[in-house]
C-alpha cells in the first residue's frame, strides 16, 4: 500500500481536529507541528487498518447490490411452458 498522504487543506483540518481534541478532552494544548506529527504517526501505523475497513465495507455493499440486482433480474423472468 502506498503511504497515506493528505493535501494541505486536509492536513490543516485534521491538525485542527487533533488540537480541538487535546483542548476539549484532555484539557491540554498541542501545537500544530506536534499535532501534524501525531496525525502522520496514526496514518503510518493505523492508516492501513482504516483503509482496509473501507474496502471491506465497499465490498459488502457491492455484494448486497449484486444480490438485489440478481433478485430483480429473476423477477423479470416470464413463465414458460414446459416442452414435452
The ranges assigned to domains in the chain are 8-76
Confidence of residue 60 (pLDDT cuts 50, 70, 90): very high
Check residue 47 and give left, alpha or beta (phi > 0: left; psi -120 to 50: alpha): alpha
Confidence of residue 26 (pLDDT cuts 50, 70, 90): very high
CA distance 13 to 39: 11
Q: What is the value of pTM for the model shown?
A: 0.69
Report which of 10, 12, 30, 11 is spatially closest to residue 20, judged by C-alpha positions. Answer: 30
Q: Using alpha carbons only, give the angle 53, 55, 60 rounded to the nearest 5 degrees.
A: 95
**Contact, 11 vs 33, CB < 8 A?**
no
* SS3 call for 80: coil
The predicted pLDDT at position 66 comes to 96
Please state the rounded mean pLDDT for residues 14-24: 98
Average pLDDT, the chain: 93
Amino acid at each position: 500500500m502506498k503511504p497515506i498522504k493528505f493535501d494541505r487543506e486536509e492536513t490543516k483540518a485534521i491538525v485542527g481536529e487533533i488540537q480541538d481534541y487535546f483542548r476539549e478532552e484532555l484539557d491540554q494544548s498541542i501545537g500544530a507541528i506536534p499535532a501534524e506529527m501525531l496525525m502522520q504517526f496514526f496514518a503510518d501505523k493505523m492508516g492501513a487498518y482504516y483503509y482496509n475497513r473501507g474496502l471491506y465495507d465497499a465490498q459488502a455493499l457491492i455484494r448486497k447490490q449484486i444480490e438485489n440486482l440478481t433478485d430483480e433480474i429473476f423477477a423479470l423472468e416470464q413463465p414458460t411452458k414446459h416442452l414435452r
